[in-house]
Amino acid sequence: MMNIHIAESNLGLGASQSFTFSCTAQEIDAVSDTYSFEGPIAVEGTVTRTGTNFRVKGTIKARKHFVCDRCLADSFEDQVHPFEEEFYRPGEAAEETSNIVDGDELDIQELVRDTLLAAQPLSNICKPDCKGLCPVCGHNLNEGDCGCDRFVPDPRMAALQQLLKKTK
């Protein structure tokens, strides 16, 4: 669990306390069928008392392992995701959906998991200019050209091409 003990530090108005956590993707339920996080997920940041609330601000560092959707190569990506959230004492929250401080601890595990999962792109691409696979022979085009004829005629021009063939 990722609990920040705010009672021990006796945070006064404007005071800050730093925190660091390390966990696995399984511990925070950040698992997927299309990618995984290798090694520990590092979380660090500060919690600041701002009067009626506590502001939690920090970064999540993780190493993502996935298979590229274009070229099918095993890929790794080092990720850094910032996060910031407000926590309120019971009765001080502006909305019912606000984060509530439970006793003398702030539990940020759900915040970390949601931030990490929401930051993942819809498609896993090894690099922005990935060329993918040749549709003819399946060669990885990032490793060089295969020499196949990959010309695909525009289907909207098929009627004109038929007309050209008739005139020849």
- 105-138 pLDDT per residue, tens: 888 999 999 999 999 999 999 999 999 999 889 9
Q: Which residue has better confidence, 153 or 156?
A: 156
* pLDDT cut 70: percent of the chain above it: 90
Q: How much is the pTM? A: 0.79
Tell me: pLDDT of 80 over 90.
yes
Statement to judge: residues 137 and 81 lie in one domain: no
Rg (CA), the chain: 26
Tell me the average pLDDT of the chain: 87
* Beta strand 74-88 pairing with 53-67: antiparallel
Supply the range of the domain harboring residue 36. 3-130
Half-sphere exposure of 155 (CA within 13 A, CB side): 0
Statement to judge: residues 124 and 139 lie in one domain: no
Statement to judge: residues 99 and 163 lie in one domain: no
Do the beta carbons of residue 154 and residue 93 sit within 8 Å? no
Statement to judge: residues 103 and 23 lie in one domain: yes
Half-sphere exposure of 50 (CA within 13 A, CB side): 13
Statement to judge: residues 65 and 45 lie in one domain: yes
Statement to judge: residues 26 and 95 lie in one domain: yes
Statement to judge: residues 119 and 153 lie in one domain: no
